[in-house]
A and B are shown apart, each in its own frame.
Chain A
C-alpha cells in the first residue's frame, strides 16, 4: 500500500492563511497583515492574449451558496504553455504563472482575472480545447475535488478528448458561458451535489 499523507479538510478558517487579501472577510477590523502568496488576478503586464474575467457561485446539495470555499485554477498561457518546470516544452517567456486562488465571499461567489488559455496537447498528442483545471477545497470536503472549465465560444470543444468522455447530458456543467453585453466575462457556476451536479474527475 502506498504511503502518501492523507488529505484532510481545509476547514472554515483557511482564509487568513491562504487567501488573506481575498474576497472572504475574515478580519473586518483589518488589524492583521499577511500578504497573499497566490492571487485571484493571474494577469501579468507582459502576458499576451485575451484578458478574461471568470466568476461563479459554488452551491451545495441544497443549492445553498458555500461561503467558505477555496477555488484554485491551473492553466496554460495564451500560447498553450504551462509555467511548469516538469515539462520539456518551452516555458513561457513571461511572468504569467497560470495559477490562481480565490475564496468565495458571503454569497458563495469566487472570481478570477486571467488570460484565455491556448490549446495544449492531450492523450496521444491530440489537441485539447482551451480549458482550465479547477480544484475545489472547502469545509465539509475531506479531500479536494477536481473539475475543468471550458469556454462556450470555443469550436474546438466538439473534438476535445476529455469533454467527449463526459456523457452529453452532463457536458454543459463544464462550460463557462460568455456574458452578454460584457467584454470577455464568463460565468462558471459549480454545483457540488444535486441534480445539476458539476462533473468531477477521479484523477
Chain B
C-alpha cells in the first residue's frame, strides 16, 4: 500500500524564491523544477521507532541539572495525513531559542543570555493515534539581520517524518496573537492566509496544568492521502 501525494497540496507552501526573505535570493533554484513520476524511491521512507528516543527527550526542562528559566509550556498535538488520519510512529524533532530568544548554536551572537539549564532540542515519536507531547519553555523573540530592525516572532522549529520521503516536513510553530506576524517575511512567505494560520498553535486551556504550565496545541498535517495499492509492489 502507498498513498497518493497530490501536487496541488504544495500550493500551501512558500515559493522557493521569496525576496522579502533575502537569503532565498541566492539559495532558490532559478531553473524550473522537473516534473517526474513518484516512484518507489519517493513513495517509501524511513521509520524510527521508540528505540530512537530516550527518556526526557521530549521534556526540555529536564535535560540539565536545574530547571530552565522562562514560562513553562506544554506543546502537543497530532500528526495527521491529508485525509486527517493519524500518522503513528512518526519521528518528531524540535529545536528552539531559550526564553530570552537565544540559541545555544555558536553562530547565534545575539546579546541575550544563554541558559545553562536549557539546550532547546527535543524529540519524540507519535503514538498509535498520531499524538505527540513536549514540555519546554516559551521561546523568546529575537532580532535577525534580514532588514533594519527585523525580529522573528516567537517560534519553535519542527522536523517531522510521515509515511514517505515525500511527506517529510520541516516547519515552524508560532504562538497565537503574535504582534510580529505582519513584519516577518518568513511567516508571510506562505501566500494563503488560511495556510499561515495552520502554522499557529492554539492556546489550549483544557490541557493547561493548573499551578504548573500553560498548554498549546499544534496539529501537523503532512502530504499524502487515499491509501491505494502501489503498482510496483508486486515486482
A binding-site residues for B, Cβ under 8 Å: 1-18, 20, 25-28, 32, 34-35, 37-38, 60-62, 64, 66, 68, 72, 74-76, 82-89, 97-99, 120-125, 128, 131, 133, 135, 137-146, 148, 161-162, 165-166, 192-194, 197, 199-203
Contacts and interface: CB of A to CB of B under 8 A. Distances in A.
B186 to A, nearest CB: 6
Contact of A7 (B52, B169, B187, B231): B169
B137 interface: no
Given A4-B222, A37-B52, A192-B29, A166 B34 contact: yes
B8 to A, nearest CB: 6
Nearest to A162: B36
Contacts of A146: 42
A18 B159 contact: yes
Interface of B is mostly: loop
Interface string B1-24: 111011111111111101001011
Interface of A is mostly: loop
Interface residues of B, number: 94
B46 A61 contact: no
Contact of A26 (B106, B172, B232): B106
A89 B26 contact: no
A11 B16 contact: no
B48 interface: yes
Contact of B46 (A10, A84, A142): A84
19 contacts: A3-B12, A4-B12, A10-B170, A13-B107, A16-B119, A17-B159, A26-B107, A27-B106, A61-B27, A74-B46, A87-B44, A89-B40, A120-B40, A140-B26, A141-B24, A162-B36, A165-B34, A201-B35, A202-B32
